[in-house]
Amino acid sequence: MMAQYSNLKTEAGDCLLFYRMGDFFELFFEDAKIAAGVLDIALTTRGEHAGEPVPMCGVPVHAAENYLARLIRAGCRVAIAEQVETPEEAKARAKREGTPSSKALVKRDIVRFVTAGTLTEEALLEPRRANMLAAVCDLRGTCGVAACDISTGAMQLEECEPQRLPAVLARIGASEIVVPEGWNDMPVDAVVRPRGDFSSDRGEAQLKKVHGVATLDGFAQFSRAMLAAAGGLVAYLEHAGRGDLPLLLPPTLRASGGHMAMDEATRASLEILASQQGGRSGSLIAAIDRCVTGAGARQLAEDLSAPLAERAQIEARLALVDYMLGDPLLRGDLRTILRSLPDIGRALGRLVAGRGSPRDLGQIRDGLGEARRLHELLKAKGERPALLDQLLPSLAGHGELTDLLSRALVPAPPTERQSGGYIAQGYDAALDELREVSGSARRAIAAMEARYRSETDTPSLKIKHNGVLGYFIEVPSKHADKLMDADSGFTHRQTMANAVRFNSLTLHEEASRIAEAGGHALAAEESHFEELVDRIAARREAIAATAAALARLDVAAGQAERASDGEWCRPRVSEEPMLAIEAGRHPVVEAALAANGERFVANDCSLSEKDRLWLVGGPNMGGKSTFLRQNALIVLMAQAGGFVPARSAHIGLVDQLFSRVGASDNLARGRSTFMVEMVETAAILSQASERSFVILDEVGRGTSTYDGLALAWAVAEAIHETNRSRCLFATHYHEMARLADSCDALSLHHVRAKEWKGDLVLLHELSEGAADRSYGLAVAKLAGVPAPVVKRARSVLDKLEKGRAETGGIAAGLGELPLFAAAMEAEEEECDTLREKLEGVDVDALSPREALDLLYELKREI
Ligand code: ADP
């Protein structure tokens, strides 16, 4: 057994090996220690290996799914080794091979790898979250990325420059990433696969084979890098399924310019799908999501992760939301129907992957039937927005399949296939007959019981059934003698403590009829099951399109519902680099305040080419971060095609959104936080364009006052002069107000605060002009710092302020500093005189002495 185990373990690689032994999956050695720790189950030992007891733990097969879910969530991957022959077959084989039958070991094979990215089981998936698997590779300086959600089969290919890969992966949010061997900069926990898997020719051939097409041109024009990544992805799926592929729909191409780009730091700081604490609660999606189906919630998450960058597409989504908002009755009916809808996309995924159940067939039947009802409901309405017209045809057209499934299946098919009972009466005459046979035999047995009772004069006689003996006759011990008689017609089978069990020829005959008919009936149901799955698989793309259309409708109706609850408005979208938000609110903060009965103060924001950088000052806790984020979120929500929390909003399309938070807010991240802040700031300065929107919150806070102010100053100037993006810049350095003197498209704003009877009142109201003071001590007092400490701080502050008055403060002289761009030019010019001089030198013509003099001269000039 050890030899078999270690062969399988080698094959399993770094996956935990679930080794099937009877009714248990057992784990050994290191695997056992890891699993016992994660699952909190007993770690025992079994036998010895190399003189040491072998650590072992096990989980019962019938409860394996639950344990698997916990292991996967803890980041483990699992290889399942099943017994692929029965003990009898093993004994027969041993006999043929001439080994003693006591040594016959049941053959085992890895039948499947269960990993975070390759799940289809309902119990292992979260209904409202997509489960993505991604494969990446590089080809001549470009990264190819293939991503799919195998629970629904959706697959997308794209490519990007290597430096943008982290942002792309952040958008996809894969639960598992596959990379080729030797990949630099490997994401943590990535799965490494042979380079040969990532070949573009192979990828192309595999996709053609999966979709039965001679060319992929009908889907889109994919680049070599994309196909290479697709090759890696399909090869990994094949590996995980041991040759069986899950549902894969035709790949779609994700063009790089079609979406608003956001990098990982931006996503994290805007808390789009998860809050900084990691959960869904407190995130943007939690504040928006009113979808009534899991598929709708997954579509909304995708919309928010990849907001659109094309006006026409955004308008199409907005028009659908508007339509639903304008017709509350229709919306209500639609949502009622959607609410009862099964997740047909995932049911389809399970069926095609070969892990489906009769219940999944029933879900497809019900889902497609309801889709048809929705089709009727929506078709009956007159004026329809274009997107709805586009979606409508996908909702219908499954009549033949739904009819078939309705005829074939019982109303509520079971989740288990083994015991049959899911094919409806009247669908197959032969099956009905088999059922009739076992039915009549059962009735015969019931009649037999009555007959035997009177014949033997034993009213307590019973005919029973169990898994070991099958049918048998049981009487209490004291009545057993009559039946023991040689010519009583009964044969003795078993004596229990208080009862004795018998058989009879007639019982045996009826029981055989039941068993035989039952076996045939099961086989007949099984073959119907397979045929129904084939029929569904043949229409996989049309069913997936229906699922997608239903999800889109749910998103639009949910957005409308949210908008009507919160008095949100339809944003106007245009191409100019501007932003005009009237009475904007932060959806998450507003909800949190409302929960405490507090009111959110709405604020305006208006950026234009002439006034594109707002410097926002004011006391801590005054609402600066909230203001910055609410505007970024409003842009994001608008471009995702939804309504926004504002009185009105006019959004000039944004190509890239950047959000950065000063270091001290990110202490939990472990790396030197100031370093992180600067790396992230560097990324903005190198990438943000005139069409981008940047929010910077307290940049430079993570270092000393002088360094911090200097950096914040230079960064604000660079964005103003070089990137020319729309930008909101929050800072507590009120010295920065002087930037307004030199930067003409920069204006000063602050969140208002008042001191009233010695206490600070934060008004959370944005106002024009620089903040007059920082109110730091007042905030400290508000926070409960003891009065003597605040008093002491006040006297230190007085001293400092006196010093500032005498010297002009730390920002003295900054007003005369040349602007960023001008300064850069001047510095470049200086470099250029050096360059010119060097270029003019004929090195071969110099004597050693002259060369040394020249070196001194150049050094002096620097
Ligand atoms: P700052 O960035 O200036 O330190 P925050 O934006 O973090 O301040 O806001 C601090 C708190 O003030 C928030 O948690 C929220 O409770 C409250 N707040 C912020 N903005 C508003 C607003 N517009 N209306 C009402 N309360 C607000």
The set of long-range contacts for 190-193, using a CB threshold of 8 Å and a minimum separation of 24, is 191/77, 191/115, 191/236, 193/232, 193/235, 193/236, 193/239
Residues 424-440 have a mean pLDDT of 91
Percent of the chain with pLDDT over 90: 58
The rounded distance, in Å, linking the Cα atoms of 190 and 116 is 11
Kindly list the distances between the CA atom of residue 623 and the CA atoms of 84, 607, 615, 626, 775, in Å, as whole numbers in the listed order: 64, 19, 14, 5, 14
Cα of 769 vs centre of ligand 1, distance in Å, is 19
Query: pLDDT tens digits for 235-261?
Result: 999 999 888 889 999 999 988 778 999
Q: Whose CA is nearest to atom 26 of ligand 1?
A: 600
- Residues written for the chain: 862
The pair of structure tokens assigned to 267 is 């996503």
Cα of 683 vs centre of ligand 1, distance in Å, is 27
pLDDT band per the 50, 70, 90 thresholds, residue 829: low
pLDDT at 666 over 50: no
Query: How distant is the alpha carbon of residue 48 from its chain centre?
Result: 43
Ligand 1: which of 588, 589, 620, 664 to mutate, judged by most atoms within 8 Å of the beta carbon?
A: 589
Q: Which residue has the higher pLDDT, 94 or 333?
A: 333
Q: How many CB atoms lie within 10 A of CB 645?
A: 28
- The residue among 742, 761, 744, 743 whose CA lies nearest residue 753 is 761
pLDDT of residue 182: 86
Local structure of 252: helix, strand or coil: strand
Amino acid at 723: N
Q: What is the phi/psi pair of residue 396, to 5°?
A: -115, -175
Residues 742-751 have a mean pLDDT of 93
Are 231 and 139 spatial neighbours (Cβ–Cβ below 8 Å)? no
DSSP secondary structure code for residue 218 in this structure = T
Ligand 1 atom with the smallest distance to the CA of 697 is 2
Are 56 and 32 spatial neighbours (Cβ–Cβ below 8 Å)? yes
Ligand 1 atom with the smallest distance to the CA of 698 is 2
The secondary structure of 65-105 as a DSSP string is HHHHHHHHHTT--EEEEEE-S-HHHHHHHHHHHT--GGG--
- The residue among 404, 441, 401 whose CA lies nearest residue 423 is 404
Kindly list the protein residues whose Cβ atom lies closer than 6 A to any atom of ligand 1. Answer: 589, 593, 600-601, 603, 620-626, 751, 764
End-to-end CA distance of the chain: 76
Whole-number average pLDDT of the chain: 89
Are 461 and 449 spatial neighbours (Cβ–Cβ below 8 Å)? yes
Ligand 1: which of 581, 626, 628, 779 to mutate, judged by most atoms within 8 Å of the beta carbon?
A: 626
Are 782 and 759 spatial neighbours (Cβ–Cβ below 8 Å)? yes
pLDDT of residue 700: 76
pLDDT band per the 50, 70, 90 thresholds, residue 828: low
pLDDT at 822 over 80: no
